[in-house]
Amino acid sequence: MEQVTSKDGTRIAFDRTGAGPALVLVNGAFNDRSMTAEKAAGLGAYFTAVSYDRRGRGDSGDALPYAVEREVEDLTAVIEAVGGPAYVYGMSSGAALSLLAAAAEAPIAGLAVFEPPYRLPGAPPAPERYLERMTEFGAARQSVDAARLFMEAVGMPASAFDDFLQTPEWPTFAAMAHTLAYDAAVMDDSAVPEEQLARVSVPTIAFASSASPEWLRGGAEAVGKFVPGARYRQVDGVFHDAPPEIVGPILTEFFAGGV
């Protein structure tokens, strides 16, 4: 494990594996770097894959009050620590954060995103006052309430959530449940941020999985539509993900100036 100090003094933990140009992985909600270690190892066959704990998760610190701008600074600090500018691969709400960082002119050499979860037709209905309630639950460290609200937002049945609370993995998720408010802030109202996307000026490719529902694929398609010059690729994968052996070669070619 390595650490870097972000602009506000928060320590951010990261790992790197592989060789070649740096590719920084930006995780989505309810993920820390341990949960994408296998993905980072796979992408390490093509890049120096860098996986970090977003603030409030894993081995990284946290500081209040939270602001999305601090997360952009965290990503910038990691990029600079590995010799930046660097390529960035954002997944789910981490994709939305990566796009926001690119629009803010973070030192990103090239950007790949996987299904930013913009709430398009067909998505599970948004819970009432989602951002406000999630912020309240996060501030009070009400882990169960925060996780329950998030699972409602992504369409998990209540009975399945109750089963989830009984799993050995729940304590790990409970420890980072307060950061669900951070992802809610990144997503804001979850509408496609057309003006923000139009400000992204780095080479960008958006991925979607053939096994994902239409509304999630639509988030990637929106990036391809509104980011100037962006490419859109649907790949064979599983729900909301695709394996490194499929994504890696495409990224290698794209960042080298290919398709």
Residue 63 phi/psi, 5-degree rounding, is -155, 140
pLDDT surpassing 70 at residue 20: yes
Residue 195: predicted pLDDT: 97
Question: What is the overall mean pLDDT for the chain?
Answer: 96
- Hey, is 131 helix, strand or coil? helix
Residue 82: predicted pLDDT: 97
Residue 245: predicted pLDDT: 95
- Return the domain boundaries, the chain: 2-121+190-255, 130-185
Give 123's Cβ-side CA count (13 Å radius). Answer: 20
Q: Are 94 and 88 in contact (CB under 8 A)?
A: no
pLDDT surpassing 60 at residue 55: yes
Residue labelled with tokens 């209540």 = 158
Strands (DSSP E) found in the chain: 2-5, 11-18, 22-26, 48-52, 86-91, 108-114, 204-209, 231-235
CATH code, residues 2-121+190-255: 3.40.50.1820
Residue 259: predicted pLDDT: 56
- 169-190 confidence digits (pLDDT tens): 999 999 999 999 999 999 999 9
Average pLDDT of the segment spanning 218-236:
97
C-alpha Rg value of the chain to the nearest Å: 17
Dist CA 136 CA 138 (whole Å): 5
Residue labelled with tokens 């006052």 = 129
Q: Is the pTM of this model over 0.85?
A: yes
